[in-house]
Amino acid sequence: MYEPKIIAYACTYCSYPGADLAGTSRIKYSPNVNIIRVLCSGRVSAELILRTFREGADGVLVLGCHFGDCHFINGNHRTAKRVPILQRILEFSGIEPERLRLEWISASEGERFAHVVDEFTDTVQQLPPMRQVLG
């Protein structure tokens, strides 16, 4: 079993504090995840996700605020539409769509953050390493 490399794009207003809470609450979660803070989940463009895969990430998590909580009012609405489309594009071009996941995590959901990361790591671990896929 290999250790997958997972990149999580976490929005600075909800999901990043959520991850922070997981840390300060001493909740254990998978060390495979590397968190990158972004201003809004709406900032995570398709090209950014594709480049992340190309650089060798085995899975990409996009974490944003719940609907109604977005600091930019509807930045996460864009993400909510963009990610499913990109998942289909990945699927039709031969990359497992399970490698990309979108989750809403608020600043108070430290436990949920840990749970999402653990579960996602398990999912990605079942898939072949991206290095192998991209050859």
Partner 1 sequence: MNRLEALRNAVGELLDKVEGVIALRNKSGHVAPHLFREREELNGLGLSPKYPLPATLRLIQNEYPEAKLGIVCRGCEERGLIEMAKRNQVELGNVTVIGLACTADEAEECRCAKPYPSVLVDAHVGERTEPVPDRVAEELRQKEVAERLSFWRSQFDKCIKCYACRNACPQCFCPECTLEEELWVERGRVPPPFPSFHLIRAMHTAGKCVGCRECELSCPAHIPMTALYALIRQEMGEMFGYEPGVDLEDQPPLVLPMEVEI
HEC profile of 2-52: CCCCEEEEEECCCHHHHHHHHHHCCCCCCCCEEEEEECCHHHCCHHHHHHH
CB burial of 86-101 (b: ≥16 within 10 Å; e: otherwise) equals: bbeebeeeebbeebbb
The enclosing H or E element of 71 equals none
**Total binding residues toward partner 1, as defined by CB under 8 A:** 29
Structure tokens given for 85: 């489309």
Contacts of 122 (CB under 8 A, 6+ apart): none
| 77 Cα distance to chain centroid | 16
Return the residue of 1, 26, 28, 93 that touches partner 1, per CB under 8 A. 93
In angstroms, give the least distance from the CB of 24 to partner 1: 29
83 binds partner 1 (CB under 8 A): no
54 binds partner 1 (CB under 8 A): yes
78 binds partner 1 (CB under 8 A): yes
Closer to partner 1 by Cβ: residue 31 or 88: 88
Q: Taking a C-beta distance cutoff of 8 angstroms, is the pair 75, 42 a contact?
A: yes
Structure tokens given for 36: 């990158």
27 binds partner 1 (CB under 8 A): no
Closer to partner 1 by Cβ: residue 23 or 84: 84
Return the residue of 27, 36, 107, 133 that touches partner 1, per CB under 8 A. 133
Closer to partner 1 by Cβ: residue 28 or 93: 93
Residue range at the interface with partner 1 (CB under 8 A); choices 9-17, 22-30, 67-75, 115-123: 67-75
Instruction: List residues near partner 1 by CB under 8 A.
Output: 46-47, 50-51, 53-54, 67-68, 74, 77-78, 80-82, 84-86, 88-96, 133-135
